[in-house]
A and B are shown apart, each in its own frame.
Chain A
Amino acid sequence: MGKRVLLIEDEPNIIEAISFILSRDGWTVHTHEDGTSAMGKVLAMPPDMIILDVMLPGRSGFDILRDLRATDVTKDIPVMMLTARGQEKDRELAQRLGANHFMTKPFSNTEVRDYVRNFMQA
Chain B
Amino acid sequence: MAEHRVVIIGSGPAGLTAALYTARANLKPLLIEGLEAGGQLMLTTMVENWPGFRDGIMGPDLMAEMRAQAERFGAEIIQNNVTKVDLSQRPFPISMADGRTLLADAVIIATGASARWLDIGSDRKLSGHGVSTCATCDGYFFRGKPIAVVGGGDSALEEATYLTRFASKVILIHRRDTLRASKIMQDKAFANPKIEFMWDSEIASVNDVEKGEVTGVTVRNVKTGALTEVALDGVFIAIGHTPNTSLFKGQIELDANGYLVTHEGSRTSVPGVFAAGDVQDHVYRQAITAAGSGCMAAIDAERFLEGLPGHVEQTHGSGLTAQA
Q: Is A bound to B?
A: no
Residues of chain A at the chain B interface (Cβ within 8 Å):
none
Give the interface of B toward A (CB within 8 A): none
